[in-house]
Amino acid sequence: MRAIVLEIPGKPLRETELPEPEPGPGQVRVRVEACGVCRTDLHIVDGELREPKLPLVLGHQIVGVVDAVGDGVELAAGERVGVPWLGWTDGDCRFCRSGRENLCLRARFTGYHLDGGYAEAAVADARYCFRLPDDQPALQLAPLLCAGLIGYRSLRLAGDGERLGLYGFGASAHIVAQVARHQGRRVFAFTRAGDDESQVLARSLGAEWAGASDELPPELWFPRRFARSTAAVS
């Protein structure tokens, strides 16, 4: 199969031919339709993340179709799936047992410890594959496998408040803003000072205010306990 490989951090990626991978127990092979480019990929290429598998096929925002399965897998050939950054966990540590697999100390990551999606096919742990709809474009689905997952997790952890402040307005925030507006929330976006382009994007996606992170928004709100502690200090 054709693949784009990182052989030495700091050096250009190289197009090459690799043996097509075969899925082992608990794994699936995915015929890649699209794979997004993440800032993390650039950190790996630049040598800023220092423990990659080498040579390495990068890419962890994979959209594709399962074409082979290993033993013990519920997914079937022909299903469309997405493969994210979190590629494997031990399933037994205190984090995995409490539903916090992303903190697993033995976790392995797609396109870093495991070959990723800058290739015609990729093998992935079926536990960490997401079923995807067949009627949506692969290019639009791919960013949801990283920026979308990160943003939606943060949105859920933020609770159900009416007003939502987004600090930084990059890949995750521009998706979260649209979800939050769909939910009927009011969005306030904070960007780097002078980042007029991101502020314009935020407003175009429904933010009612966008400004620099060192500015105050038009409305301030603090939890009651914070307000009480502030009053006590003053």
Superfamily for the 148-233 domain: NAD(P)-binding Rossmann-like Domain (3.40.50.720)
Can you tell me the distance from the alpha carbon of 7 to that of 186, in angstroms, rounded to the nearest whole number?
A: 46
Tokens of 135: 């009627």
Q: What's the rounded mean pLDDT across residues 149-158?
A: 90
Percent of the chain with pLDDT over 70: 94
Chain segment 79-108, per-residue pLDDT in tens: 999 999 999 999 999 999 999 999 999 999
Provide the pLDDT confidence category of residue 218 given band limits of 50, 70 and 90: confident
Q: Has residue 228 got a pLDDT over 50?
A: no
Nearest-5° Cα angle at 138, 10 to 122: 55
Answer yes or no: is pLDDT of 140 > 60.
yes
CA nearest neighbour of 64 among 88, 28, 39? 28
Instruction: Write down the pLDDT at residue 227.
Output: 39
Element (H, E) at 151: helix 147-157
> Cα–Cα–Cα angle for 121, 127, 131, nearest 5°?
65
Instruction: Give the architecture-level CATH label for domain 2-138.
Output: Alpha-Beta Complex (3.90)
Q: 220: pLDDT confidence band, cut at 50, 70 and 90?
A: low
For the chain, the domains span 2-138, 148-233
> In this predicted structure, which of 81-95, 157-171, 178-192, 210-224 has the lowest mean pLDDT?
210-224
- Beta 186-191 vs 209-212: how paired, if at all? parallel
Average pLDDT of the segment spanning 46-58: 95
Interior angle at CA 5, CA 3 and CA 10, nearest 5: 155
Please give the backbone phi and psi of residue 187, each rounded to the nearest 5 degrees, phi first. Answer: -115, 135
Residue 209 has pLDDT above 70, yes or no: yes
Q: pLDDT (tens digit, 9 = 90+) per residue, 107-137?
A: 999 999 999 999 999 999 999 999 999 999 9
- pLDDT digit string (tens) for 12-35? 999 999 999 999 999 999 999 999
Report the distance separating Cα 59 and Cα 144, nearest Å: 13
Q: How far apart are CA 35 and CA 110, in angstroms?
A: 12
The pLDDT confidence band at residue 200, using thresholds 50, 70 and 90, is very high
